[in-house]
Homo-oligomer: A and B are copies of this chain.
């Protein structure tokens, strides 16, 4: 994912037992903001100011600036021409495009993952899914969003397809804020858990079934986003 230092294993530091050097500040800021956007701590349309972030994150301006540029490039934020930056508001057209690309990319990732996944990872996915069920029944929105992301991220990491994984990851940043709105509107109770089909497909090594399950999952999630959008449009 956007993870820092992917290839710095077996680099035991000489001093004490700290395993890896500390990431630069701009990386930390990026990860923090990224998580906030992904897990719905920022609302669609919300303004993002550099100074506000330097204050709230206790970071300098340069790191914040770099993180914001990165997120703009990710599509997680938009630069509004005049010097304003904000969280984008999805349109119906946007959602339609997201459905199309997510279906093709993420179903392909599922297919690739199913072909070579390690049984231990399937077990790990099952564990995540269990936690997901708990979050759903508890109405824990943040837990649901994070668990859902973790499930998909871990699955996609098994595909060994860095470019596709990267693309998928960026797409999630685009609808993260809206997903939060969906949960706030419908509640978590009504969210069906579409991961069971995926898990059985993975256990069976059935790549096509995995791809189909992913298609259904994507379709269902995006349709809820579309529904909220339509609702908001009707209100005005």
A112, closest chain B residue (CB): B97
Does A97 lie within 8 Å of B6, measured CB to CB? no
Determine if A8 is an interface residue (Cβ-Cβ < 8 Å).
yes
Q: Is the interface of A mostly helix, strand, loop or mixed?
A: helix
A69–B24 alpha-carbon span in the complex (Å): 13
Interface members, chain A 66-118 (any B CB < 8 Å)? 66-67, 69-75, 81, 83, 93-94, 97-98, 100-101, 104-105, 108
Q: Which of A24, A75, A160 has the most CB of B within 10 A?
A: A75
Determine if A194 is an interface residue (Cβ-Cβ < 8 Å).
no
Does A163 lie within 8 Å of B75, measured CB to CB? yes
Does A98 lie within 8 Å of B62, measured CB to CB? no
A11, closest chain B residue (CB): B81
Total copies of this chain within the assembly? 2
Interface members, chain A 160-197 (any B CB < 8 Å)? 160-164, 166-167, 174
A174–B72 alpha-carbon span in the complex (Å): 18
- A interface, size bucket: 35 or more
One of B24, B72, B93, B100 near A70 (C-beta < 8 A): B72
A104–B100 alpha-carbon span in the complex (Å): 9
Ranked nearest first, the 4 interchain pairs of A and B with the lowest CB-CB distance are: A73-B73, A97-B163, A70-B73, A66-B69
**A to B CB contacts below 8 Å, 18 in the list:** A7-B81, A8-B81, A24-B83, A26-B69, A66-B66, A66-B69, A69-B69, A70-B70, A70-B72, A73-B74, A93-B160, A93-B161, A94-B162, A97-B161, A97-B162, A97-B163, A100-B108, A101-B105
A: residues with CB less than 8 A from B are: 4-8, 24, 26, 62, 65-67, 69-75, 81, 83, 93-94, 97-98, 100-101, 104-105, 108, 160-164, 166-167, 174
